[in-house]
């Protein structure tokens, strides 16, 4: 039976310290191992022969990374995602719009048992914010050369990569005319390189629904609707937390509620988020999750601190 190597703790691995010795011991190229280590969010590797999995787990333990080998069947594939594109949060249920041609479907709050929040990088994120050149840039307002300053503003604005051509043009024009491109502007450009998701799981019956930040219709927020999808997404998440204070939350979801910077909780892609969710469900609720039943040995390191007063504001771009 195939096996999987999982991490015992909810941590990001340090690629420079873990990948080289692991690559040497396993006889693999450094680039291949670096990719595996970087994407190891809970699940390190899957569908391995048991002896290979045991070897990797032993090597990780020697490097100070607590790991375990589990049957692949215990990390069952997640239920199919149903996308919620709009809806209203009622007292007893989420009236979910999953198809504009159909009536909203009531999803009782009591049927939800797990909530995950994922901030996903777009393909342009790596180039835009993690490049060495970007990190070495001085604050724009400190640059004396007017021509250089103008060119840098133009290049940064061109990275906005908005889907709508008219909107992209407006962003470039604003960057050209504003006296300085401050942190608020950079935060806005940064957020354009990410997508946000809320995944709502039911354990009985096993089901999963997803709210995508850029696709959800926020009209149901009424007078609380704000300028950007980022602000509306946070408002919606806080309302969901108010309805579901006792369900399981990943540490990353709790970090988001506590106001963590986006770069601290970013996922490379949706597949990485899905692996993380599968790992968390297995660690917190076991291979066959049931409502209200935690797996043996669940610790605070996995569940994180209780959310008492979530952060309810984010910066706006005036």
Range of the domain at 166: 125-191
Backbone angles phi, psi at 48, to 5 degrees: -110, 150
User: What pLDDT sits at residue 236?
Assistant: 95
Return the axis-axis angle of helices 50-62 and 15-26, rounded to nearest 10°: 140
Same domain, 181 and 151: yes
Terminal CA-CA length for the chain: 57
Question: Is 312 among the domain residues?
Answer: no
Strand pairing class (114-121; 266-267): parallel
Per-residue pLDDT 10s for the chain (318 aa) are: 899 999 999 888 988 899 999 999 999 999 999 989 988 889 999 999 999 999 999 999 999 999 999 999 999 788 999 999 999 999 999 999 999 888 999 999 999 999 999 998 876 665 555 555 555 555 555 666 767 666 665 565 555 443 344 544 554 454 444 444 455 655 565 567 788 999 999 999 999 999 999 899 999 898 989 888 888 999 999 999 999 998 999 999 999 998 887 767 888 888 899 999 999 999 999 999 999 999 988 887 788 777 776 776 544 333
CATH number at residue 18: 3.30.1390.10
Distances (CA, A) of 291 to 41, 281, 307: 24, 12, 20
Answer yes or no: do 165 and 249 share one domain.
Answer: no
Domain boundary among 191, 211, 229: 191
Q: What is the pLDDT of residue 311?
A: 72
Closest to 262 (Cα-Cα) out of 209, 315, 214:
315
Alpha-carbon distance of 30 to 7, in angstroms, equals 20
In degrees and rounded to multiples of 5, residue 242 shows phi and psi of -65, -30
pLDDT at 175: 45
Distance CA 153, CA 147 (A): 10
Domain assignment of residue 39, yes or no: yes
- 139 and 249 belong to one structural domain: no
pLDDT at 5: 96
pLDDT value at residue 162: 39
Res 160: pLDDT: 43
Give the pLDDT score at 38.
86
Sequence-distant (≥ 6) Cβ neighbours of residue 139 within 8 angstroms: none
For the chain, the domain total comes to 3
Whether 228 maps to a domain, the answer reads: yes
pLDDT number for residue 316: 38
């Amino acid at each position: 039976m195939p096996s999987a190597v999982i991490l015992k703790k909810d941590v990001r691995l340090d690629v420079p310290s873990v990948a080289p010795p692991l690559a040497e011991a396993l006889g693999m190229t450094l680039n291949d191992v670096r990719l595996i280590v970087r994407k190891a969010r809970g699940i390190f590797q899957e569908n391995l022969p048991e002896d290979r999995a045991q070897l990797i787990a032993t090597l990780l333990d020697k490097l100070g990374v607590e790991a375990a080998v589990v049957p692949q069947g215990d990390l069952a594939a997640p239920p199919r995602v149903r996308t919620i594109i709009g809806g209203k949060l009622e007292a007893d249920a989420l009236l979910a719009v999953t198809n504009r041609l159909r009536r909203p479907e009531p999803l009782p709050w009591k049927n939800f048992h797990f909530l995950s929040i994922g901030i996903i990088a777009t393909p342009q994120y790596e180039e835009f914010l993690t490049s060495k050149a970007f990190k070495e840039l001085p604050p724009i307002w400190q640059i004396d050369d007017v021509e250089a300053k103008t060119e840098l503003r133009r290049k940064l604005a061109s990275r906005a990569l908005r889907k709508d051509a008219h909107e992209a043009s407006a962003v470039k024009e604003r960057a050209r005319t504003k006296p300085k491109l401050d942190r608020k502007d950079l935060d806005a450009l940064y957020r354009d390189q990410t997508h946000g998701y809320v995944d709502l799981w039911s354990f009985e019956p096993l089901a999963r629904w997803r709210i995508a930040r850029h696709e959800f219709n926020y009209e149901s927020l009424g007078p609380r609707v704000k300028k950007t999808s980022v602000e509306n997404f946070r408002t919606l998440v806080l309302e969901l937390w108010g309805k579901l204070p006792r369900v399981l939350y990943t540490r990353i979801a709790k970090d988001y509620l506590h106001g963590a910077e986006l770069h601290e909780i970013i996922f490379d892609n949706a597949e990485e988020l899905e692996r993380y969710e599968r790992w968390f469900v297995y660690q917190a609720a076991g291979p066959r999750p049931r409502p209200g039943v935690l797996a043996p040995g669940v610790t605070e390191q996995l569940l994180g601190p209780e959310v008492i007063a979530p952060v309810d504001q984010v910066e706006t771009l005036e």
